[in-house]
Amino acid sequence: MRDHLQENLTLTRIAREAGLSESYLNAVFKECVKCAPMDYYINMKMEQACYLLCNTDMHIYQVAQYLGYDNQYYFSRAFKKVLGVPPKKYKEMPRIPSAPMQVSC
């Protein structure tokens, strides 16, 4: 999944590439990782978004495009849902340089 952060993966595609049914993949993933595969994938995207917002000169719309979102609005909603703040506010927040953002399920 980490190699496909710039795409819009679906549970169907992940299951197919893993050679598993969607329901079995969901069950095994939830047992091992403690969250659904798609939640895990979205959280990885948001970790990457946090990195890009804080460590590059990319604008929010560029981060959204880079991570495979069709529009900045949808990306901003997804970002806020996971992190609790919109990307613009997150980008403006003070940081501890050695503390990367960790998003969990």
For residue range 32-62, what is the model confidence (pLDDT) as tens digits? 999 999 999 999 999 999 999 999 999 999 9
pTM here? 0.82
The pLDDT of 68-93, averaged and rounded, is 94
Q: How does residue 104 score in pLDDT terms, banded at 50, 70 and 90?
A: low
pLDDT of residue 101: 60
User: Whole-angstrom Cα distance, residue 71 to residue 84?
Assistant: 19
Q: How does residue 4 score in pLDDT terms, banded at 50, 70 and 90?
A: confident
Give yes or no for residue 96 having a pLDDT over 90.
no
* Secondary-structure class of domain 9-92 per CATH: mainly alpha
pLDDT of residue 103: 66
User: Whole-angstrom Cα distance, residue 78 to residue 44?
Assistant: 12
| CA angle 19–20–24, rounded 5-degree value | 165
User: Whole-angstrom Cα distance, residue 48 to residue 42?
Assistant: 10
Give yes or no for residue 67 having a pLDDT over 80.
yes
